[in-house]
Amino acid sequence: MRTSNITRTTAETDITLSLCLDGSGKSEIATGCGFLDHMLTLFAKHGGFDLSVTCHGDVEVDYHHTVEDVGIVLGAAFAESLGDKKGITRYGSIILPMDEALIVAAVDLSGRSYLGFALDIPTSRVGDFDTELVEEFWLAFSRKCECNLHLRTLAGSNSHHVIEGAFKAAARALRAAVAIDEAHKDELPSTKGVL
């Protein structure tokens, strides 16, 4: 089983996270930010990942440190769970509809960090959640996962739908990328010999 267990403590957050890439979509999420909990729950379900996250953060300030740091730890957990990446499919992409929203997600588990963030989120807040934190989350994730990740809005007028569509799409793209290619399970999917 490809798994990771990470604890990360700073002056701003205390996070414990466990991840199993070959799971069934089970999750236990408690970050202190209800909207982030919702996004991570559906991320686990649509990715088929077993995910447990507990975060005690300085939410009395705002959700910034919590959201960014959970992204850091989740990205690190993916990197650790993938190990040497031998046998993985490496690439994944999807065009995902979420009511009126239509989202593209594409990922390359290349060992190089890049976020192509082109989500058009119509409002600055969803409830008490600052929507600019969506980019902070995925930037932190892509850096620590060392992947290329592109997220783009093709359509969408409801901020909740756009963000939820992005988390679902990213999960589905990652699910495809981390899958083992049975025909090449002993090979690294790179001409460089390293990912």
pTM: 0.97
Is residue 50 included in any domain, yes or no?
A: yes
**Residue 116 belongs to a domain with what CATH number?**
3.30.230.40
Domain that holds residue 169: 3-184
Is residue 149 included in any domain, yes or no?
A: yes
Between CA 115 and CA 76 the distance in angstroms is 15
Q: Which two tokens stand for residue 146?
A: 């060392």
Q: Which residues does residue 141 pair with via DSSP β-bridges, in sequence order?
A: none
Q: Which pLDDT score is estimated for 1? A: 80
pLDDT digits (tens, 9 = 90+) for 8-45: 999 999 999 999 999 999 999 999 999 999 999 999 99
pLDDT digits (tens, 9 = 90+) for 56-83: 999 999 999 999 999 999 999 999 999 9
Q: Which pLDDT score is estimated for 194? A: 87
Is residue 15 included in any domain, yes or no?
A: yes
Is residue 195 included in any domain, yes or no?
A: no
pLDDT digits (tens, 9 = 90+) for 131-166: 999 999 999 999 999 999 999 999 999 999 999 999
pLDDT over 90 (residue 119): yes
pLDDT digits (tens, 9 = 90+) for 167-182: 999 999 999 999 999 9
Q: Which pLDDT score is estimated for 61? A: 95
Is residue 189 included in any domain, yes or no?
A: no
Is residue 146 included in any domain, yes or no?
A: yes
Q: Which pLDDT score is estimated for 193? A: 84
Is residue 136 included in any domain, yes or no?
A: yes
Number of domains composing the chain = 1
Cα–Cα distances (Å) from 61 to 37, 58, 64, 149, in that order, read 18, 6, 8, 29
Is residue 191 included in any domain, yes or no?
A: no
3-state helix, strand, coil in the chain (%, to 5): 35, 30, 35
Q: Which pLDDT score is estimated for 62? A: 97
pLDDT digits (tens, 9 = 90+) for 87-118: 999 999 999 999 999 999 999 999 999 999 99
